[in-house]
């Protein structure tokens, strides 16, 4: 049994999600033949570092991420810090010869992602960017149907990512609203990148965009340090700071293969939580997915007889992608943790089989290029 030591950088929301997979979830579901040791966690806030090490089960902690990256015992560096830190950390980890998982977006823009990509290519280390939603079995099933030709040539992709945690003007000014930390707002710096990943994964390369953005709430109560509270308010927050990123972005798309489509992303859509969807129309059928109903893929095949045409629901289970490792009964329900476990499983498989990770930093860079183009296209159209 091979054994690899993991170093986690960051101790917040994503540290918990990644640590759950590393702590054994991946072995329980997939048994890849690799034991992952939670060796060290680096978190800039000492109290949080100590707490994260205890709760997430790391042998030791540091407040200096360079100590972790330079430790010869560490085999895998897992980067789960805000976006502005990804470049420096990923390049240092690559230079130290570590395999790397980095949260999305890979960098704040494609200038950064280009440098990160060059570093991992030079170091020849495994690299995965955490666009985890494509690992949802129903999304992988959609990809299988498309590749098999079940819906024919793709005509249209319509993707959305709608949330409401920042719809309230009193929702705090976390790092996600600061351009110097996040890079950009709802689209490029955050949720829209997941939809670009769906578009690239399922349809192909995006070639042209025409976009508009809007900043609805121009200032918010300043959040003082700590994790992004994702909308949870604190009574003490009275001083306000400027929001310098978009709240909402919409874009039309043209794909290299001729398909067309659109993406909408906002964190100000009251009533929507993790409303990450795609609908794809092909010459022979259609597919629809909504992450809030992640065990389901809606399918329509035009070849079905006239008297039985209509969308039907496939509940993912053992016959479907990743089904061999997951729960034996369709619709018993997978959650966010299982999606992260699948992501870790794919990463370990790339190490074992010495193959490219999917999606790798090259794909993370291409997504950043599309984000940049969307932001450029929406300039002077942020009304
Ligand atoms: P968070 O705010 O919950 O946690 C970030 C942590 O990084 C904080 O504990 C902070 O103190 C720590 N940190 C800041 N500077 C540091 C430094 N120099 N050294 C060590 N630690 C440092 O943020 P969250 O939600 O965990 O986001 C982290 C990354 O994950 C972001 O890039 C975000 O876009 C991505 N993300 C991805 C998700 C997905 O579904 N793939 C979901 C949520 C976040
Ligand atoms: C907040 O919008 C957030 O945590 C994003 O940063 C993640 O990428 C998304 O998957 C969940 O919501």
Ligand 1 centroid – CA 10 distance (Å): 6
Ligand 2 centroid – CA 92 distance (Å): 25
Question: Rounded distance, CA 235 to CA 188, Å?
Answer: 30
Question: Rounded distance, CA 209 to CA 375, Å?
Answer: 10
User: Which atom of ligand 2 is found nearest the CA of 166?
Assistant: 2
Ligand 2 centroid – CA 267 distance (Å): 9
Instruction: Count CB atoms within 10 A of the CB of residue 96.
Output: 18
Question: Rounded distance, CA 304 to CA 151, Å?
Answer: 12
Strand pairing category for 260-266 and 154-162: parallel
- Testing ligand 2's pocket by substitution, the residue of 190, 266, 269 carrying the most ligand atoms inside 8 A of its CB is 190
Q: Could you give the ipTM of this predicted complex?
A: 0.99
Query: Residue 122 half-sphere exposure, CB side, CA atoms within 13 Å?
Result: 13
Q: 135-378 belongs to which CATH class? A: alpha beta
Q: What is the pLDDT of residue 225?
A: 62
Give the sign of the dihedral formed by CA 242, CA 65, CA 36, CA 129.
positive
Q: What is the pLDDT of residue 382?
A: 62
Strands (E), the chain: 2-9, 34-42, 60-62, 76-79, 99-103, 127-130, 154-162, 206-214, 219-221, 240-242, 248-255, 260-266, 275-282, 285-290, 296-301, 312-315
What DSSP string describes 80-133? Answer: -S-GGGHHHHHHHHHHTT-EEEEESSSSSSHHHHHHHHHHHHHHT--EEEE-GG
Q: What is the pLDDT of residue 268?
A: 96
Ligand 1, residues at Cβ distance < 6 Å: 9-14, 42-45, 48, 65, 80-83, 85, 103-104, 130, 132, 190, 227-228
Whole-model pTM?
0.97
CA distances from 269 to 166, 218, 288 (A): 8, 16, 20
CA distances from 118 to 94, 112, 359 (A): 10, 10, 16
Residue nearest to atom 16 of ligand 1 (CA): 44
Q: Residue 337 burial by CB count (10 A; 0-12/13-18/19+): exposed, middle or buried?
A: middle
User: Which atom of ligand 1 is found nearest the CA of 42?
Assistant: 20
Give the sign of the dihedral formed by CA 68, CA 177, CA 107, CA 192.
positive
Q: Which residues pair with 213 in a beta bridge?
A: 249, 382
- Candidates 96, 71, 66, 70; CA nearest to 81 is 66
List, run by run, the mean pLDDT of 10-residue segments along the chain (383 residues). 96 97 93 95 96 98 98 98 98 98 98 98 98 98 98 98 95 93 91 98 98 96 76 74 96 98 97 98 98 98 95 97 96 96 98 97 98 93 63
Residue nearest to atom 12 of ligand 2 (CA): 191
User: Could you give the maximum distance between any two Cα atoms of the chain, in Å?
Assistant: 66
Map out the domains of the chain as residue ranges: 2-133, 135-378
What DSSP string describes 226-256? Answer: SS--TT---TT---EEE--S-SEEEEEEEET
DSSP-derived secondary structure letter, 308: G
Q: What is the pLDDT of residue 205?
A: 98
User: Which atom of ligand 1 is found nearest the CA of 175?
Assistant: 2
Q: What is the pLDDT of residue 24?
A: 83
Q: Whose atoms come closest to the Cα of 63: which ligand?
A: 1
- Candidates 45, 43, 41; CA nearest to 74 is 41
Instruction: Count CB atoms within 10 A of the CB of residue 77.
Output: 27
The kind and range of the H/E element at 342 are: helix 336-352
Range 2-133: architecture per CATH: 3-Layer(aba) Sandwich (3.40)
Q: Is the CB of 171 under 6 A from ligand 2?
A: no
């Amino acid at each position: 049994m091979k054994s690899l030591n993991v170093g986690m950088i960051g101790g917040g929301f994503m540290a918990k999600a990644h640590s759950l997979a590393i702590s054994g979830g991946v072995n329980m579901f997939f048994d890849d033949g690799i034991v992952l040791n939670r060796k060290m966690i680096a978190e800039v806030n000492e109290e949080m570092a100590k707490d994260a090490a205890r709760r997430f089960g790391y042998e030791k902690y540091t407040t200096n991420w360079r100590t972790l990256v330079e430790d010869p015992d560490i085999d895998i560096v897992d980067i789960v810090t805000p976006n502005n830190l990804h470049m420096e950390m990923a390049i240092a980890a690559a230079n130290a010869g570590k395999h790397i998982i980095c949260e999305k977006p890979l960098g704040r823009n494609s200038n950064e992602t280009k440098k990160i990509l060059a570093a991992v290519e030079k170091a020849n280390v495994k690299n995965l960017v955490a666009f985890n939603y494509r690992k949802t079995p129903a999304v992988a099933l959609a990809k299988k149907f498309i590749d098999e030709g079940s819906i024919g040539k793709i005509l249209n992709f319509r993707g959305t990512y709608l949330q409401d945690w920042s719809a309230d003007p009193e929702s705090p000014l976390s790092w996600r609203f600061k351009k110097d930390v996040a890079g950009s707002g709802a689209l490029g710096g955050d949720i829209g990148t997941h939809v670009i990943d769906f578009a690239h994964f399922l349809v192909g390369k995006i070639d042209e965009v025409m976009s508009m953005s809007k900043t609805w709430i121009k200032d918010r109560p300043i959040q003082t340090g700590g994790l992004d509270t994702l909308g949870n308010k604190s009574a003490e927050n009275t001083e306000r700071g400027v929001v310098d990123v978009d709240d909402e972005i919409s874009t039309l798309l043209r794909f290299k293969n001729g398909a067309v489509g659109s993406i909408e992303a906002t964190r100000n859509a009251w009533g929507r939580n993790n409303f990450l969807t795609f609908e794809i129309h092909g010459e022979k059928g259609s597919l629809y997915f909504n992450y809030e109903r992640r065990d389901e893929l809606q399918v329509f095949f035009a070849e079905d007889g006239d008297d039985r045409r209509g969308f039907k629901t496939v509940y993912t289970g053992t016959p479907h992608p990743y089904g061999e490792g997951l729960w034996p009964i369709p619709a018993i329900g997978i959650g966010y943790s299982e999606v992260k476990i699948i992501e870790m499983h794919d990463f370990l498989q790339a190490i074992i089989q010495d193959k490219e990770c999917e999606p790798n930093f090259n794909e993370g860079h291409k997504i950043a290029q599309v984000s940049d183009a969307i932001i450029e296209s929406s300039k002077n159209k942020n009304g």
